[in-house]
Amino acid sequence: MSSTTPPTSRITPLVRGFLGQCPHCGGRGVFAGLNDLQPHCPTCRFSFVREEGYWLGSMIVIMALVLIIFGIWTVGGLLLTWPDVPWTMLTIVGVGLNILVPFTLYGWSKTIWVGLDLTFNPAQLEEFLPESPTDG
Ligand SMILES: [Zn+2]
């Protein structure tokens, strides 16, 4: 575990999660496609294989992201077009965003969730994949 950069403050894992980085070390390349994470961080080997039910938290995060993006869209559209608000367009695009956001940002919600978790429960040694003998 020589390549880890432990969080410098309590909020650092959450910030790194929001940036789509490994919440523990800030390393990149943690995504395995749009909606999934690698089994472990390629930099610090922090394991993203968690116990059953762990990712329920990332579903809460993605629901919050949907609400925030929908709110920004709706309120922003209202403020920018008042008094001739295009209700039909706002509604159709807003519903489209509510469908699109969970499918495109779910992986990101996972790094945010792990960051939130590490903010309150700092990483323990057993959460890292042991180095294999071939790693040098
Ligand atoms: Zn890492």
Using the mean position of ligand 1's atoms as its centre, give its distance from the Cα of residue 102 in Å: 24
Side chain identity at 53, as an amino acid letter?
G
Distance CA 118, CA 10 (A): 8
What average pLDDT does the structure give for the chain?
92
pTM: 0.86
Using the mean position of ligand 1's atoms as its centre, give its distance from the Cα of residue 65 in Å: 24
CA distances from 84 to 18, 74, 91 (A): 36, 14, 14
Using the mean position of ligand 1's atoms as its centre, give its distance from the Cα of residue 23 in Å: 7
Q: What is the mean pLDDT of residues 123-132?
A: 88
Task: Tell me what pLDDT residue 131 has.
Answer: 80
Task: Tell me what pLDDT residue 109 has.
Answer: 97
Q: What is the DSSP string of 33-94?
A: SSS-B-SB-TTT-BB----TTTTHHHHHHHHHHHHHHHHHHHHHHHHHHTTS--HHHHHHHH
Angle subtended at Cα 33 by Cα 114 and Cα 27, rounded to the nearest 5 degrees: 50
43 and 25 in contact (C-beta within 8 Å)? Answer: yes
Answer yes or no: is pLDDT of 4 > 80: no
CA distances from 8 to 3, 44, 47, 81, 113 (A): 15, 15, 20, 44, 18
Using the mean position of ligand 1's atoms as its centre, give its distance from the Cα of residue 43 in Å: 5
pLDDT tens figures, 16-64: 999 999 999 999 999 999 899 999 999 999 999 999 999 999 999 999 9
Distance CA 129, CA 43 (A): 11
Comparing 128 with 133, the larger pLDDT belongs to: 128
Domain boundaries, the chain: 12-124
Using the mean position of ligand 1's atoms as its centre, give its distance from the Cα of residue 41 in Å: 5
Task: Tell me what pLDDT residue 2 has.
Answer: 41
